[in-house]
Amino acid sequence: MPILITITAGSVEVKAELNDSPTARAISEVLPIKGIVRRWGEEIYFSIPLYAKLEPQGREVVEPGELGYWPTGRAFCLFFGPTPASKGDEIRAASPVNIIGTMTGPFSGLDAVAEGETITIDACSRAN
């Protein structure tokens, strides 16, 4: 069953859900998570207190709104547009990521989130 989360960075709040992958389940067990925003093009990422290996379905090319876990950097990633590694219109991570979920609400405000801001991931109550 998906786990509903809220991602807050500055004044931007995004709803999302974690999928049922092993990495997503492990992340759900360490919520809430707080970090410092790093930007790489139209990707936000930040270190989290978890180490997980690359899963067999890990990939570099992702879709807008997907959430990933980057094993190389032990980081939670929010993908919302091209990165410096992108070719054409694709969104490409620096190296393969585990897809751990999807943003379910509007995420256009993420472009305004600045490097160095605090970012928080928290579980939502089932009623939301």
List, for residues 19-60, the tens digit of each pLDDT value. Answer: 999 999 999 999 999 999 999 999 999 999 999 999 999 999
Identify the sign of the CA torsion 99, 20, 120, 13.
positive
Tell me what pLDDT residue 127 has. 42
pLDDT value, residue 124? 87
Q: Which domains does the chain have, with CATH numbers?
A: 3-123 (2.40.100.20)
Phi and psi at residue 125, in whole multiples of 5°? -75, 155
Tell me the pLDDT tens digit for each residue of 81-91.
999 999 998 99
Asked whether the predicted pLDDT for residue 128 surpasses 50, the reply is no
What is the C-alpha end-to-end distance of the chain, expressed in Å? 15
